[in-house]
């Protein structure tokens, strides 16, 4: 919940000056109030070739009496991605895996590429349960999705204990977990489908550590949090 519409537009303008020819996909996920204005800015200035847009959350219903919520049918004309099950949604709004599965299905239903977030808490990590927690999350979250549905799926590993508190997951540990995620995806779908699914790392990523995580074998990108609202840091991450 950062940046006004004006600030978000200025951020995109500054980013476009620093990232003229991106070698990778760059997806910007602003707050809901900035989605439509940014979509217009990107189209009018031809920046939609540089940046894709996504939403930070999505309701599991397509329409109805759900005051304050936003559905896939309302945003599908402006965005291509939807973050589902972010750690903050799970922690602060008590979203469980059953709800996350329904939201995931809603994203697929509206042809949005879902960015599914999974990850363990500090207590779970210290108890040695990290892999089991992530396996259980994936099993429930992906319930009902076919291999065809999963072809465009993105999975983001968020070690919750390493977000915003100065703690860091080592690239070696991230390597082990992301390989585990790939293995779980292969068991849930099949090896060919699992190979197509992009896995992101998202634990306190900044411009100082981005390259080390991107070097991890199964890492197909980064889910950037606070560093994304600093155009200089985000540009350096993009160039990493």
Q: Is 98 a catalytic residue?
A: no
Q: Is 232 a catalytic residue?
A: no
- Which DSSP string do the residues of the chain spell out, in sequence order? ----HHHHHHHHHHHHHH-SS-SS--EE---HHHHHHHHHHHHHTTGGGT-EEEES---SSSSSS-TT---HHHHTTT-SEEEES-HHHHHHS---HHHHHHHHHHHHHTT-EEEEEE---HHHHHTT-HHHHHHHHHHHHTTT--TTGGGG-EEEE--GGGSSSS----HHHHHHHHHHHHHHHHHHS-HHHHHHSEEEE-SS--TTTHHHHHTSTT---B---GGGGSHHHHHHHHH-
Among 158, 180, 188, 231, the active-site one is 158
Active site residues: 86, 158
């Amino acid at each position: 919940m950062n940046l006004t519409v004006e600030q978000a537009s200025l951020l995109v303008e500054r980013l476009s000056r620093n990232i003229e020819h991106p070698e990778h996909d760059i997806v910007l996920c602003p707050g809901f109030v900035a989605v439509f204005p940014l979509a217009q800015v990107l189209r009018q200035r031809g920046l939609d070739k540089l940046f894709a847009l996504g939403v930070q959350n999505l309701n599991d219903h397509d329409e109805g009496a759900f005051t304050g919520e936003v559905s896939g049918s309302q945003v599908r004309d402006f965005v291509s991605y939807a973050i589902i099950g972010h750690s903050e949604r799970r922690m602060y709004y008590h979203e469980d895996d059953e709800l996350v599965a329904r939201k995931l299905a809603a994203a697929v239903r509206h042809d949005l590429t879902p960015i599914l977030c999974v990850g363990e808490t500090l207590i779970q990590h210290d108890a040695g349960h990290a892999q089991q927690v992530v396996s259980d999350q994936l099993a429930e979250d992906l319930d009902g999705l076919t291999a065809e549905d999963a072809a465009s799926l993105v999975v983001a590993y968020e070690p919750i204990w390493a977000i915003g508190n100065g703690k860091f997951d080592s690239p070696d540990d991230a390597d082990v977990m992301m390989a585990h995620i790939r293995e779980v995806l292969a068991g849930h779908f099949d090896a060919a489908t699992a190979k197509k699914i992009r896995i992101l790392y998202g634990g306190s990523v900044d411009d100082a550590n981005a390259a080390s995580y991107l070097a991890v074998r199964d890492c197909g990108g980064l889910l950037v949090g606070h560093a994304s609202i600093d155009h200089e840091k985000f540009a350096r991450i993009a160039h990493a």
